[in-house]
Structure 1
Amino acid sequence: MFIVSLRYVVPVEEVEPHMAGHMAWLDRCYADGIFLASGRKVPRTGGVILARGERAALEACLAEDPFAVHGVAEFEIIECAISRTVDRLDALKE
């Protein structure tokens, strides 16, 4: 399991032109089964993604995000082994 922290490195106004492409990219990553959950940070300084799979595949996927391609965001990948959840989130356990 991976927690991806996305941080904008430019003002949010410079991020906006790439939002449609970013959303389409998210849709593809969900369809491919890589992403489990995602959302924006509060305050709006970036986002967070829960992902699964191999780290190399995740890194390749993140490199295709229009935010990364256009240099408006950076990603931090945190790998973790989920061992305890509420019953509704058992699928996250390794």
Structure 2
Amino acid sequence: MIHIINLTYLVSPEEIKEHMVAHKAWVRTHSDLGRILLSGPNDNGGATIITADLDEETLNEFIEGDPWKVHNIASFETSSFTAKNVSPGIVTTPEATPGVFLVNVATTESPESSIDALSKAVEHVSSTATGFQGSRLLTSTDGDAIINLAAWSDEDAFNKIFEDQEFLDRYNTFGETTTGAKYRLYRTSRVISPSK
């Protein structure tokens, strides 16, 4: 389950500040372990943490280890849900999985045409392929390249799209709009979160 943890401050700002360095170190450690997807202060005080897919025991150990819990700086209220839709590029499991990321880089003289053609291929995949988990199409800031960042459940599911003639036709049309393209499949090796 994905967990949303709402932290409500129980002490004065001075006491919060006293334990802020330790809390931030705890956040960074768990972000780098892939356990924290998002975290930050709330506009009305307190903070929110959104976790990766953690079981109940791991969640409890996780919360109990926060210096703010140890020193009774904040209360922790959780709600949980099963993630059915995930934006490509977000990994919701802290452990290694068979999941892969496709990174397809194409150079182009017409990024709009390339994005339009690639969108048609990806839209077909999104409605027909088992294991497709979403795609994010990016255009370089100087406009000479595009990237398809797509998430797949596993390498075999990705490879099956090359048995689909409609996909191949659409992908070949995309290829005609580029000056070159190359893709690779990747798995997460390490997560490094901001240290500031």
SS at match of 2:77: strand
Question: 1:79 — aligned with what?
Answer: 80
Question: 2:43 — aligned with what?
Answer: 42
TM-score by length of 1: 0.84
SS at match of 2:38: strand
Question: 1:24 — aligned with what?
Answer: 25
- For structure 2, the residue ranges without an aligned partner over 5 or more in a row are 93-132, 134-196
CA distance in 2, matches of 1:79, 1:89: 21
Could you list the runs of 4 or more consecutive aligned residues of structure 1 that deviate by over 6 angstroms after TM superposition? none
SS at match of 1:57: helix
Question: 2:63 — aligned with what?
Answer: 62
- For structure 1, the residue ranges without an aligned partner over 5 or more in a row are none
SS at match of 1:71: coil
CA distance in 1, matches of 2:67, 2:19: 6
TM-score by length of 2: 0.43
- Identical residues among aligned pairs (%): 27
Q: Which has the higher contact order (CA 8 A, sep 6+)?
A: 1
CA distance in 2, matches of 1:4, 1:73: 11
Question: 2:14 — aligned with what?
Answer: 13
CA distance in 1, matches of 2:46, 2:58: 22
Query: Does the 8 Å contact 1:3/1:51 carry over to 2?
Result: yes
Q: C-alpha displacement at 1:82, in angstroms?
A: 2.9
CA distance in 2, matches of 1:89, 1:36: 11
Residues 67-93 of structure 1, C-alpha deviations (whole Å, 9 max, x = no match) = 1111111101111123346x5577558
- Which structure is higher in helix share? 1
Query: Does the 8 Å contact 1:34/1:58 carry over to 2?
Result: no
Structure 1 residues 29 and 90: alpha-carbon distance in aligned structure 2, compared to 1, 3 A threshold: closer
Q: C-alpha displacement at 1:41, in angstroms?
A: 0.7
The aligned length equals: 91
